[in-house]
Amino acid sequence: MSWLKLSKGIMPPRRFPCGQRHRVQTRAKRQELDEAEKLVVLSQPHRKGSRSQLAESNLGRFIMAQFSCDGPRVQEAIWGETIAYSIAVSRWRRIKGIPSRENLRFDDSSYGAGDLDGGAAALSFLDKYIASRDAAMSGGLEIRLVVTRDLILFDRPPTPSIVFLAKSGLWRLWEGCRRGQK
């Protein structure tokens, strides 16, 4: 009661459930922290000064380097197709119960996999989807498919002698999806 009399019209300080006081950050302080965070992110050696999401993985850096003259729109489209393919393969493996020797690049549970016991319909759809993407990537050349799948699924950069195969496999994947090959 005495506190209420003393603080007439003054609100008590807001506190977190643990008892610590809330600290109000000014807009300038928040901008300063954001700038500091950007500097840390851009100074990471694998990013090489790029803010793009593609710079975070071997596959993304490969796409940025090999498709630089095609522009960011094409790079993002190829990146999107590789993510979709990786998630489809991960779901297919989980439905089939195939253990993975290595961790795949993307775990489908974080991308809204939902109920993976989709039954025959889901398995049939994934079989067709993966087969069509594999056919687009290989183009009749099995080694191109192997190299491209290693790059997409396991984020393994290709050796310099087979860079062309990986680049052509990614390009064929994107072209096949653009043409509506499903």
Mind listing the pLDDT tens digit for each residue in 37-73? 887 777 776 666 677 778 777 888 888 888 888 888 8
The string of pLDDT tens digits covering residues 18-45 is: 777 767 667 788 888 888 888 777 777 6
Bigger pLDDT: 111 or 120? 120
Q: What is the pTM of this model?
A: 0.64
In whole angstroms, what is the distance from residue 117 CA to residue 166 CA? Answer: 33
pLDDT for the residue numbered 115 = 47
Token output for 157: 């950069």
Cα→Cα distances 89→3, 41, 93, Å: 64, 30, 6
Query: Cα-Cα-Cα-Cα dihedral of 96, 97, 100, 103, to 10°?
Result: 90
Distance between CA 129 and CA 89 in Å, rounded? Answer: 9
Mean residue pLDDT across the chain? 76
- Adjacent-strand bridge partners of 17: none
Q: What is the predicted pLDDT for the residue at 105?
A: 55
Residue 116 binned pLDDT confidence (cut-offs 50, 70, 90): low
Residue 84 and residue 112: Cα distance in Å, rounded? 12
Copy the structure tokens of residue 35.
Answer: 């700038």
Report domain extents, the chain.
Answer: 70-178
